[in-house]
Amino acid sequence: MIERISNYFCDFGIKAVDKGHCNRCDGYNTKKDFRGVEYCLDCFLYKEVNSSMYLIRRIRKTSQKKHELNLGFDLSDLQKTGSNFLVENYSNGKDSFLQAVCGAGKTEMVLEVIVEALNKGNRIAFVIPRVEIIKQVALRIQSYLPYTKVCSLYGGVRFDEAFDLIILTPQQLIRFYQEFDLMIIDEVDAFPFVDNLFLERLVKKSSNEKSLFIYMSATVSLKYKKLIEENYLAFHMIPRRFHNQDLAVPIFVQADSYQDIRIIETIKSLNETTKSMIVYLPSIKMGKVFKEYLTGLNINCDLITSEIKYKASVLKDFERGKFKVLISTTILERGVTFHNVNVIVIEAANKVYNEATLIQIAGRVGRSGDEAIVLFLSKEKSDAMVKARRKIVEFNKKK
């Protein structure tokens, strides 16, 4: 069902906040003002709700049609095993976790189960953490499913309920109540999902008693490892990319700070090759300073962070070769696909970079089977750096 907030009493509505409980996010973090009006503090960033408001819920109107998959190419043998795994567990009513290395083609592996679920009349949410990835994935899926209306839903976008498949950020689940029969959650071990009880409540609220879940990521957190071990989740791993080439193994380079001459020499050297380059820094402030620093050295570069308004424009200019060095925070940690790039992580021992993050960043290179370089630069090696490198080596040993 679709849920909206009303400022007026409605016979079939329910109070948004009642006796310390928020019916919108299922939380209990409320506070009364001097008039006795009770507010939900957890929902505040997503529109104010209080005890004088009502939630109106209604069934979303959709049309039944025949959905078809028109992929245009064959999946690799490994991708077929992943696709079959998801379809089999969906048919058996079993929740599943698909672990696949960066660039394995998770989106393509989930298409068959999406089509099967749509043709059974199921309502599907494909939950992806980052807006830029949603835009890319929505375009790809729409090209594969010519008769399916695919909706991209994130902050600031108007929702058209007639769409068949909804690809959305986890925050947008707040719009729905017991709506989805199948929930596909990508990068479940990454920000903003990790230790976020608010988003966990939204997932629970927007699903129903019979909902099935598909979780996907390149890494598996301890929480999901436990669920897999206890047989609550079926598990399958895809250890190779679709082109079957090894993952790039990170090289450790000692460097004292982002202004270390070794870093600048490395960037200048790589900048002379035909490849572009993504340079990761652990904070927005450092990214801004580093951009000015490189610009002063006549290195053509740009910056992308969560604060940049026109992110899509920056990414498009980078892909078109208008500049070769893209400075980034962890906003480009996952999901976004680039071709013919090298990667440098500056201050890789910073606590911002955990094992999963470093594995994902390293996975930005070699997506098309090309040889590429991943450099972890830092004053010292962190446990996360060592574990990330070890895990990538382990992936490469598996066939």
Q: How far is CA 156 from CA 46, 135, 170, 355, in A?
A: 11, 14, 14, 33
Give yes or no for residue 369 having a pLDDT over 80: no
**Span 247-276, mean pLDDT?**
89
Q: Which fold has domain 77-238?
A: Rossmann fold (3.40.50)
pLDDT 10s digits, 222-257: 899 999 999 999 999 998 887 778 889 999 999 877
The token pair that represents 89 in the structure block: 């567990």
Cβ atoms of 111 and 82 closer than 8 Å: no
Q: What single-letter amino acid sits at 299?
A: I
How does residue 285 score in pLDDT terms, banded at 50, 70 and 90? very high
**Span 280-302, mean pLDDT?**
94
**Span 20-43, mean pLDDT?**
94
Interatomic CA distance for residues 81 and 83, integer angstroms: 5
How does residue 192 score in pLDDT terms, banded at 50, 70 and 90? confident
Interatomic CA distance for residues 290 and 60, integer angstroms: 48
CATH of domain 251-389: 3.40.50.300
Annotate 250-282 with b (16+ C-beta within 10 A) or e (fewer). Answer: bebbebeebebeebbebbeebbeeebbbbbbbb
**Span 180-191, mean pLDDT?**
91
Whether 77-238 shares its CATH topology with 251-389 is answered yes
pLDDT 10s digits, 115-139: 999 999 999 999 999 888 899 899 9
Q: Give percent of the chain with pLDDT exceeding 70.
A: 99
pLDDT of the residue at 116: 97
The token pair that represents 152 in the structure block: 């991209």
- Per DSSP, the three-state class of 382 is coil
pLDDT 10s digits, 301-356: 999 998 998 888 999 999 999 999 999 999 888 767 788 899 999 999 999 999 98
* Domain boundaries of the chain, sorted by first residue: 2-58, 77-238, 251-389
pLDDT of the residue at 5: 92
pLDDT of the residue at 245: 84
How does residue 366 score in pLDDT terms, banded at 50, 70 and 90? confident
Give yes or no for residue 399 having a pLDDT over 70: no
